[in-house]
């Protein structure tokens, strides 16, 4: 049950975190955690509440900086000061709390922070190219099988599942190297969940690395190539979902079993 993923030992990780620690005041959120993800791989990050999953995700995505430890992207050391830095490096994140702008419409949200401008003089004047963005957003939603009444619909008029789909679609749309999904299937119905998992597989097939953070073990086992378990801010194991069981995972998460990965 404890193993190295077969494909992953030979090549260099796309992203590698070494001995990353993070404290919030006196609270130890992460302690000397190693983490790596390879191109085209879906790595699930699991653990109980407070195990440090979200903190690790925030460090990889540039939303937090580690107290100690290093990050390397394609073998080169990187230092993300902000999410913008990580995005420039090709790391996109879907956050647990969605991170959409509820008052803006669907197209505006898909393009938030990456707006298209009109060509020529108008573009120089910072004028948005709304028709191009609407059309492109339409096409992408169709491609992902996401249905909304209108591309001009405000996001706060969508259902929770629709909003999650939009958030995931945005991540998939812009991630060029690594996509981090923090609880992407939380609050989703069965059909919407299937859609999201299908999206996850689709991006990994394109060579994008996916870091999939979830409480939901069935979803994790359904989609992940490799599972990394955190407990109390430490990495306590790594599982191959094709041979490990959910009981194995729960044992590691709760500390009933210990191992070294």
Partner 1 sequence: MTAQLALAQTRNPLGAVRWDLVMRLGLLAIIVALAVVFSITASGFATMQNVENNARQMAVVGILAVAETFVIITAGIDLSVGSLLGLAGIIIALGLSHGLMLPVALALVCGAGIGVGLINGSLISAASLPPFIVTLGMLGILRGLTQIFGNGQQVAYDSPSLTNFAANSTLGLPNIFLVFLAVCLVAAFVLHLTRRGRYMFAIGSNMESARRAGINVRATTLTVYAISGLLAALAGVLLTARQAQGDPNAGTGYELDAIAAAVLGGASLFGARGSIVGTFLGVVLVQIMANGLNLLNFDPQVARILEGALLILFVYLDRWRKPRLAAA
Of 7-15, 20-28, 90-98, 249-257, the window that binds partner 1 (rule: CB under 8 A) is 90-98
- The site map against partner 1 for 162-191 (x = CB under 8 A) is -x----------------------------
- C-alpha distances (whole Å) from 8 to each of 11, 74, 130 are 6, 14, 43
- The site map against partner 1 for 40-69 (x = CB under 8 A) is -----------------------x------
β 68-73/15-24 pair status: antiparallel
End-to-end CA distance of the chain: 11
Interatomic CA distance for residues 211 and 79, integer angstroms: 19
Q: Taking a C-beta distance cutoff of 8 angstroms, is the pair 86, 171 a contact?
A: no
β 42-46/68-73 pair status: unpaired
Q: Does 235 bind partner 1 (CB under 8 A)?
A: no
How many chain residues are in contact with partner 1, going by CB under 8 A? 37
Q: Taking a C-beta distance cutoff of 8 angstroms, is the pair 107, 148 a contact?
A: no
- Residue 53 or 87 having the CB closest to partner 1: 87
Pick one of 1, 78, 104, 194: the residue that binds partner 1 (CB under 8 A): 104
DSSP reduced 3-state for 187: coil
Q: Taking a C-beta distance cutoff of 8 angstroms, is the pair 53, 46 a contact?
A: yes
Q: Does 93 bind partner 1 (CB under 8 A)?
A: yes
- The site map against partner 1 for 125-164 (x = CB under 8 A) is xxxx-x------------------xx-xxxxxxx-x--x-
Pick one of 100, 188, 195, 229: the residue that binds partner 1 (CB under 8 A): 100
Best CA proximity match to 129, nearest among 117, 115, 137, 111: 117
- Residue 34 or 115 having the CB closest to partner 1: 115
- Residue 127 or 246 having the CB closest to partner 1: 127
- Which strands sit side by side in the sheet containing 15-24, from one edge to the other? 27-37, 15-24, 68-73, 76-78
Residue 9 DSSP class: T
- Residue 47 or 62 having the CB closest to partner 1: 62
- Residue 56 or 223 having the CB closest to partner 1: 56
Of 17-25, 120-128, 203-211, 252-260, the window that binds partner 1 (rule: CB under 8 A) is 120-128
Q: Does 258 bind partner 1 (CB under 8 A)?
A: no
Q: Residue 171 burial (CB < 10 Å; 0-12/13-18/19+)?
A: buried
Contacts with partner 1 by CB under 8 A lie at 63, 83-84, 87, 93, 95, 97-105, 108, 112-115, 117, 125-128, 130, 149-150, 152-158, 160, 163
């Amino acid at each position: 049950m404890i193993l190295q993923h077969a494909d992953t030992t030979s090549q260099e990780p796309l992203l590698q975190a070494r001995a990353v620690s993070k404290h919030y005041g006196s609270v130890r959120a992460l302690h000397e955690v190693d983490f790596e993800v390879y191109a085209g791989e879906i790595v699930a990050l699991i653990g109980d509440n407070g195990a440090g999953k979200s903190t690790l995700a925030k460090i990889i995505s540039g939303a937090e900086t580690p107290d100690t430890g290093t990050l390397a992207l394609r073998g080169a050391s990187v230092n993300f000061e902000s999410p913008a830095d990580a995005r420039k490096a090709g790391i996109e994140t879907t956050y647990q709390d969605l991170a959409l702008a509820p008052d803006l419409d669907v197209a505006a949200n898909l393009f938030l922070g990456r707006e298209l401008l009109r060509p020529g003089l108008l573009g120089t004047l910072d004028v948005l190219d709304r028709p191009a963005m609407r059309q492109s957003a339409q096409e992408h939603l169709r491609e992902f099988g996401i249905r909304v009444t209108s591309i001009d619909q405000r996001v706060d008029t969508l259902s929770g599942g629709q909003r999650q789909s939009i958030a995931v679609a945005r991540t998939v749309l812009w991630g060029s190297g690594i996509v981090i999904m923090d609880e992407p299937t939380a609050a989703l119905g069965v059909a919407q969940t299937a859609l999201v998992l299908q999206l996850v597989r689709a991006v990994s097939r394109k060579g994008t690395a996916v870091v999939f953070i979830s409480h939901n073990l069935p979803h994790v086992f359904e989609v992940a190539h490799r599972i990394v378990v955190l407990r109390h801010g430490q990495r306590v194991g790594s599982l191959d979902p094709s041979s490990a069981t959910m009981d194995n995972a729960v044992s590691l998460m709760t500390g009933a079993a210990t191992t070294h990965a």
